[in-house]
C-alpha cells in the first residue's frame, strides 16, 4: 500500500474468459465473523482442497497505517502444492486471463463505531485506499510436457508459450504434434510422461489424426509392430492407401519382394481392360477378370456367359434349364421340371424359392413344425 492502511474487507477475483465474468479467488476481512457477514457462512476459513476459496484475516489489520504489504500465495498450503505439474485441479485453479481487486471497506480507525450523537457523517468519507504497487507472479501451464515457457507467442509479443517436449505442440502443450497422433493426447503424470507417438505410415505420409473408433477396433499398427492406438494416416503417397498407408490403391499391386516402406512398393497393374477390371492380385500381379470371363487368364467365357471374346449373358437360367443350355438365339429355353418361363427363370405353380423351386407343401409342413 501507499499512504493508507490496508483494506479492511475486499475480494481478490479472477477471470478466465478475458474479463467477461469473474469469480472469487480469495476473501479478506478483519475477522472470521466479518468473513461470514460479508461473504456468507459457507465461506471456508482454511484450505481443504486444491480449489478452496478461503477467507483470510491476517492482512486486514490497521497497522501499519501506511506502506503495508500483502504477499498472497494461491499455491502454498494446498494439497497438491508440491505436485503442481501433475494436478489438473490446481492448474485450473491458478489459471486467469484477468485479475480484479474489489475493495469493500476501508480501515476507519473505528470511526464508524462512534455513538450516534457524536458521530460525524463525514468520517468514513474522509478515508481512502492508496495502492502503490501490484506485482503478480505466474507460471505457465504446460500439462507436464515442458520445463520452461520462454517462447514468444507470435500473436501476442507480451505472452510466453511453453517449450514443449514429448512431441507435444500448442501454447500449453495441449495437443500432439502433426504426425505424432498414434495415441490420444494425455497430460503427463509422475508415473508416465505420456509421450505422443508417431503414426506408422511406412514413410508414405507425414500427416495423421487420432480416431477413437479405430483405436477401439485395434485397426492401427504402431511403430512397434503392435495393433495399439488410433492413428490414421492422411494423404498417403506412392499410390498407397489405408489406415497405415499399407495397401495399394486400385490399379496397383505390391510385388512379393517389396517392403512396405519402399517408395515403389505399389506397381501399376498391367492388364487388358477388355477382359480385366484393371485390378490385380497382391504379390503376383495376376489380373482380375471381369465377371463374364473365366479366371485366371480371362481367355474364355465364365459360367452364365457365351460367345468369347464378347461373352454375353446366357439366354437361359442355368438352374432351371435342362442340360444347362446357355444359348437358344432368342427361342424357348428347355426348362427342367418345376421351372417355367421363356428363360426358365421362375418357379412353376405349386413351387417357391427360385432358383431352388421347392414344393409349397414342404413349406407348410415346415411352418407346422415350428
Percentage of the chain beyond pLDDT 90 is 54
pLDDT band at 6 (very low <50, low <70, confident <90, very high): confident
Strand partners, 169: 175
C-alpha to C-alpha distances, 12 to 5, 73, 92, 103, 104, nearest whole angstrom: 17, 12, 16, 9, 11
Whether 12 contacts 28, CB under 8 Å: yes
339-340 vs 346-347, strand pairing mode: antiparallel
pTM above 0.85, yes or no: no
> What pLDDT is recorded for position 368?
40
User: What integer is the mean pLDDT of 294-322?
Assistant: 88
* C-alpha cell read off for 267: 506397381
- Assess whether pLDDT exceeds 70 at residue 106: yes
> Residue 204, preceding bond cis, omega within 30 degrees?
no
- pLDDT of 85 higher than 80: no
Helices and strands counted in the chain (H then E): 4, 22
pLDDT on residue 28: 93
Give the separation between CA 12 and CA 70, rounded to whole angstroms: 12
Domains in the chain and their CATH numbers? 9-126 (2.60.120.260), 276-369 (2.10.25.10)
pLDDT in tens, 24-67: 999 999 899 999 999 999 899 999 999 999 999 988 887 777 77
Mean pLDDT value of segment 338-367: 83
Calculated CA dihedral for residues 136, 141, 147, 152, nearest 10 degrees: -70
Most confident stretch, 33-42, 62-71, 86-95, 231-240: 231-240
pLDDT higher than threshold 80 for residue 266:
yes
Q: What is the mean pLDDT of the chain?
A: 88
Per-residue pLDDT reduced to its tens digit, 204-232 = 999 999 999 999 999 999 999 999 999 99
Report which of residues 2 and 132 the model is more confident about: 132
Amino acid at each position: 500500500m501507499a499512504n493508507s492502511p490496508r483494506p479492511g474487507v475486499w475480494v481478490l477475483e479472477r477471470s478466465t474468459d478475458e474479463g467477461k465474468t469473474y469469480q472469487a479467488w480469495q476473501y479478506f476481512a478483519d475477522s472470521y465473523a466479518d468473513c461470514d457477514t460479508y461473504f456468507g457462512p459457507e465461506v471456508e476459513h482454511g484450505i481443504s482442497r486444491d480449489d478452496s476459496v478461503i477467507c483470510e484475516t491476517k492482512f486486514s489489520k490497521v497497522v501499519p497505517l501506511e506502506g503495508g504489504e500483502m504477499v498472497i500465495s494461491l499455491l502454498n498450503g494446498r494439497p497438491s502444492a508440491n505436485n503442481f505439474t501433475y494436478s489438473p485441479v490446481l492448474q485450473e485453479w491458478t489459471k486467469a486471463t484477468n485479475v480484479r481487486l474489489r475493495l469493500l471497506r476501508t480501515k476507519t480507525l473505528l470511526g464508524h463505531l462512534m455513538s450516534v450523537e457524536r458521530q460525524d457523517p463525514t468520517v468514513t468519507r474522509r478515508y481512502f485506499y492508496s495502492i502503490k504497487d501490484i506485482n503478480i507472479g505466474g507460471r505457465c501451464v504446460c500439462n507436464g510436457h515442458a520445463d520452461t515457457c520462454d517462447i514468444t507467442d507470435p500473436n501476442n509479443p507480451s505472452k510466453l508459450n511453453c517449450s514443449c517436449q514429448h512431441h507435444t505442440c500448442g501454447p500449453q502443450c495441449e495437443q500432439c504434434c502433426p504426425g505424432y497422433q498414434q495415441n490420444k493426447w494425455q497430460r503427463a503424470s509422475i508415473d508416465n510422461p505420456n509421450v505422443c507417438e508417431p503414426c506408422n505410415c511406412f514413410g508414405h505420409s507425414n500427416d495423421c489424426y487420432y480416431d477413437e473408433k479405430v483405436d477401439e477396433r485395434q485397426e492401427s499398427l504402431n511403430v512397434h509392430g503392435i495393433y495399439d492406438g488410433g492413428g490414421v494416416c492422411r494423404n498417403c503417397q506412392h499410390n498407397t492407401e489405408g489406415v497405415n498407408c499399407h495397401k495399394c490403391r486400385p490399379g496397383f499391386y505390391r510385388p512379393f519382394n517389396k517392403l512396405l516402406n519402399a517408395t515403389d512398393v505399389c506397381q501399376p497393374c498391367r492388364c487388358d481392360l477388355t477382359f480385366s477390371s484393371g485390378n490385380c492380385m497382391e504379390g503376383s500381379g495376376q489380373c482380375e477378370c471381369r465377371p463374364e470371363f473365366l479366371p485366371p487368364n480371362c481367355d474364355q467365357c465364365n459360367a452364365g456367359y457365351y460367345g468369347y471374346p464378347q461373352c454375353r449373358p446366357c439366354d437361359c437360367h442355368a438352374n432351371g434349364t435342362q442340360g444347362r443350355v446357355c444359348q437358344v438365339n432368342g427361342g424357348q429355353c428347355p426348362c427342367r421340371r418345376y421351372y417355367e418361363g421363356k428363360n426358365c427363370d421362375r418357379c412353376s405353380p405349386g413351387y417357391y424359392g427360385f432358383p431352388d423351386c421347392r414344393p409349397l407343401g414342404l413349406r407348410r409342413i415346415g411352418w407346422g413344425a415350428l
